[in-house]
Amino acid sequence: MAEKAIVFIDGSWLYKCRGSLFDKLGEENFEIDYAKLPKVICEDVANALDEDISLVRTMYFGTIPSSRSGFNTSKQYSFYDFLERSCGYDTYIHEIDVGNEDSRMSGNSWVEVSMATNLVYYAALPAVMDIAIVIGDYDNLSPALRRVRSLGKRVQLVSVNGANGIPEHTRLGDFPTIYIDEHAADVKLVRERLKRVCKKCGEEEETTWAGSDFFCSNCRGRHRGA
Ligand SMILES: [Zn+2]
């Protein structure tokens, strides 16, 4: 029977560390394929264990500036929406006042406490999770991770090279740490170029746009000028 895995992602940490992925491929920036990321990690765990892994769910923890702070948060909300709808993530988002340093700090603590709570919760439920896969800074998560292991569940830590200060021998995880930057090429989003028909003029054009309505470059230009 396949081992059941739940992936826990510290979204703020991943955002901060994404530069290591770009460096690895010698690029300045690219999009991460969030739908693929948990699967790539699960595949790695499956290979290391020589067992099948069944991905039960991916839980993503993050923060968002509060509407009072004057930031336009629509982009961030649509990103979290995209994670839910298109990538199948369960997102847990906490509003913070970004203008206030205490609030920013409490945002980070909120993410860690939420991750810790959910780690222990799912470890304690019977037959839901065999392996907890943790993508983030596990320094402050160590009490929760020890508890998860004492409940007989296994822990796979995922980091980027140089990000976490904990040496390998502290044994917070049951397996060698997986480094996402070593999978940079696998988790880089590659948009397929396809020929699509313009909704307005009917001309065909090559595009990477995957949304429902496509307008060719001519019609887009005209639309903008109007
Ligand atoms: Zn057109």
In the chain, alpha helices (H): 11-24, 37-49, 74-85, 101-124, 142-150, 184-187, 217-225
| Predicted local distance difference test score (pLDDT) of residue 200 | 92
Residues of the chain with CATH 3.40.50.1010: 3-187
Question: What's the pLDDT tens digit per position in 1-28?
Answer: 899 999 999 999 999 888 888 888 888 8
d(CA 216, CA 199) in angstroms, rounded, equals 8
Residue 211 C-alpha to ligand 1 middle, in angstroms?
Answer: 15
Residue 166 scores a pLDDT above 60 = no
Q: How many angstroms is it from 200 CA to the middle of ligand 1?
A: 5
Give the pLDDT of residue 161: 86
CA proximity to 115, closest of 80, 95, 140: 140
Lowest mean per-residue pLDDT among 156-165, 179-188, 198-207: 156-165
pTM of the model: 0.83
Choosing among 3.30.930.10, 3.50.50.60, 3.40.50.1010, 1.10.10.10, the CATH entry for 3-187 is: 3.40.50.1010
Task: Considering only residues 53 and 188, tell me which one the structure prediction assigns the higher pLDDT.
Answer: 53
Q: Cα separation of 125 and 140, whole Å?
A: 23
Residue-wise pLDDT for 27-74, tens only, equals 888 889 999 999 999 999 999 899 999 999 999 999 998 876 777 888
Whose tokens are 């199948």? That residue is 88
CA of 82 to the centre of ligand 1 (A): 27
Sign, CA torsion 167/173/178/179: negative
Query: Residues with Cβ < 8 Å from 64, sequence gap 6 or more?
Result: 73, 76, 77, 80, 93, 94, 95, 96
Query: 117 with 87: CB under 8 angstroms?
Result: no
Cα–ligand 1 centroid distance for 220 (angstroms): 7
- CA 195 to ligand 1 centroid distance, Å: 13
From residue 122, give the alpha-carbon distance in Å to each of 49, 99, 187.
Answer: 21, 34, 26
